[in-house]
């Protein structure tokens, strides 16, 4: 059995195998499988979640598993029970654990505590490997390739765990990457340097929005909850938006992606644009997470 904590846990061959598995899962998405009948998946979410939590639960059930959901607000951990004790208890109930926690590095530590395979569903601002797999799957589905595409990552690149995982994977698959972030919210230079040196990736950085040359524009929200000054976050959020006017400069066939939830960074009127691809992207969550759960259970 295997854990999945970071996109760095996977090489290119393993990712390609997972994407191929997800494609097969998607073809039979509404067929209930009995692959893991009798097995139990526990979903431990210490932060709010809609898509990640529901898609993991759906994926587990589609594979024949029962699901035990764990919610921090109604659990003993809200009374002060340690994370280690919680993990040891739940690990005794389930065959695989999916965890989201606000502390960076918590998933890697949790995997050392648990005896059963563990999947990281987001650890603070650090990693979100299954979202990255969904993103690669969605891009490949829309564009039939990743290599050579001009992919622009936009928004709060400092705090977004989605972007940290994605820039590494895009570099691995040979995309041309541009990073557009407000001043002060740039991508960690260590991650940029690692991606460039390891994969020979071409990465440019700017503080201005320009979609004209992009094949894929991937936007993330300004993460107010990770700011000490809410006013500063709101100001940045208002100034860094994908407006309908900005969209007009995009080339035909450009796809606009977002991990969701989206707030002011993409106004509702953009949803009707042929470039909007984020709802299709979200629907990729179940087959990809079915592939991930199967990978981790089988090893």
- Predicted local distance difference test score (pLDDT) of residue 45: 93
Q: In what order do the strands lie in the sheet with 66-71?
A: 66-71, 40-45, 96-101, 118-123
pLDDT in tens, 54-107: 999 999 999 999 999 987 765 666 667 799 999 999 999 999 999 999 999 999
pLDDT in tens, 17-58: 999 999 999 998 877 788 899 999 999 999 888 999 999 999
Q: 293 is written with which tokens?
A: 């759960």
In the chain, what percentage of residues exceed pLDDT 70?
92
* Burial group, residue 92, by CB count within 10 angstroms (0-12, 13-18, 19+): exposed
Domains 7-128+285-298 and 129-282 share a fold: yes
- Predicted local distance difference test score (pLDDT) of residue 226: 61
Calpha distance 86→4 (Å, rounded):
20
How much is the average pLDDT of 121-149? 94
Q: Which fold has domain 129-282?
A: Rossmann fold (3.40.50)
Domain 7-128+285-298 matching CATH 3.40.50.1370: the answer reads yes
CA triplet 172, 173, 176: central angle to 5 degrees?
95
Mean pLDDT (the chain) is 91
- Predicted local distance difference test score (pLDDT) of residue 241: 87
pLDDT in tens, 174-204: 999 999 998 888 999 999 999 999 999 989 9
Q: Which residues are catalytic?
A: 51-52, 79, 100, 128
224 vs 34, which has greater pLDDT? 34
Domain chopping of the chain, boundaries: 7-128+285-298, 129-282
- Predicted local distance difference test score (pLDDT) of residue 113: 96
Q: Which residue has the tokens 């969904």?
A: 134
In the chain, what percentage of residues exceed pLDDT 90?
72
Q: 221 is written with which tokens?
A: 């929200």
- Predicted local distance difference test score (pLDDT) of residue 126: 79
């Amino acid at each position: 059995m295997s854990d999945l904590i970071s996109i760095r846990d996977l090489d290119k061959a393993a990712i390609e195998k997972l994407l191929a598995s997800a494609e097969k899962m998607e073809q039979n998405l509404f067929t209930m499988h009995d692959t893991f009948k009798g097995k139990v998946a526990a979903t431990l979410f210490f932060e709010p979640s809609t898509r990640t939590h529901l898609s993991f639960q759906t994926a587990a059930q589609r594979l024949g598993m029962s699901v035990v959901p764990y919610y921090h607000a109604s659990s003993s951990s809200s009374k002060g029970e340690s994370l280690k004790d919680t993990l040891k208890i739940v690990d005794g109930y389930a065959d695989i654990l999916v965890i989201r926690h606000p502390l960076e590095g918590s998933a890697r530590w949790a995997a050392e505590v648990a005896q059963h395979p563990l999947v990281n569903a987001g650890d603070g601002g650090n990693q979100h490997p299954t979202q990255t797999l969904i993103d690669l799957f969605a891009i490949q589905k829309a564009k039939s390739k990743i290599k050579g595409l001009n992919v622009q990552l936009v928004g709060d690149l400092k705090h977004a765990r989605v972007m940290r995982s994605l820039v590494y994977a895009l570099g691995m698959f040979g995309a041309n990457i541009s990073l557009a972030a407000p001043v002060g919210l740039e991508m960690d230079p260590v991650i940029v340097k690692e991606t460039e040196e390891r994969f020979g990736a071409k990465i440019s950085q700017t503080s201005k929005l320009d979609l004209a040359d992009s094949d894929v524009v991937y936007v993330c929200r300004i993460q107010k909850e990770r700011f000490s000054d809410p006013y500063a976050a709101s100001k940045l959020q208002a100034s860094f938006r994908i407006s309908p006017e900005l969209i007009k400069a995009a080339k035909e066939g450009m796809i606009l992606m977002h991990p969701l939830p989206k707030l002011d960074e993409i106004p509702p009127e953009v949803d009707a644009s042929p470039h909007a691809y984020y709802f299709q992207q979200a629907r990729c969550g179940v087959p990809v997470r079915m592939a991930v759960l199967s990978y981790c259970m089988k090893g």
